[in-house]
């Protein structure tokens, strides 16, 4: 196992938590109420101002789960050379 990848575990877990928060924001916040730096933000006068960006939320959630899976596999027990 690459020791450099083990150093990435904490930042990847933090990124996963941030992405879960972003996914929740996308699920519960209408388009016009999103922060202006979020993709999909529009003005309140837009025709679809009350639209929720479910696909953006799902994408953020999938990437967060991928981050957690990476961290899980990096923190598992080290395989010994005799098990190969």
Q: Can you tell me the distance from the alpha carbon of 25 to that of 36, in angstroms, rounded to the nearest whole number? A: 13
* Residue 13 structure tokens: 């877990």
Predicted confidence (pLDDT) per residue in 3-31, tens digit? 777 788 999 999 999 999 999 998 988 87
Instruction: Answer whether residue 68 is part of any domain.
Output: yes
Containing structural domain, residue 21: 3-76
Instruction: Answer whether residue 81 is part of any domain.
Output: no
Domain total for the chain? 1
Instruction: Answer whether residue 70 is part of any domain.
Output: yes
Q: CA torsion sign, 15 to 21 to 27 to 30?
A: negative
Q: Can you tell me the distance from the alpha carbon of 6 to that of 37, in angstroms, rounded to the nearest whole number? A: 32
Confidence band, pLDDT 50/70/90 cuts, at residue 34: confident
Instruction: Answer whether residue 55 is part of any domain.
Output: yes
Q: Can you tell me the distance from the alpha carbon of 82 to that of 47, in angstroms, rounded to the nearest whole number? A: 64
Predicted confidence (pLDDT) per residue in 57-84, tens digit? 999 999 999 999 999 998 877 766 556 5
């Amino acid at each position: 196992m690459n020791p450099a990848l083990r150093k990435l575990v904490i930042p990847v877990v933090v990124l996963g938590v941030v992405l879960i928060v972003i996914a929740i924001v996308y699920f519960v916040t209408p388009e016009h109420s999103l922060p202006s730096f979020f993709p999909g933000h529009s003005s309140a006068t837009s025709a679809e101002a009350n639209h929720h960006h479910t696909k953006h939320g799902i994408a953020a959630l999938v990437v967060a789960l991928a981050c957690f899976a990476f961290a899980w596999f990096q923190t598992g027990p080290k395989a010994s050379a005799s098990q190969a």
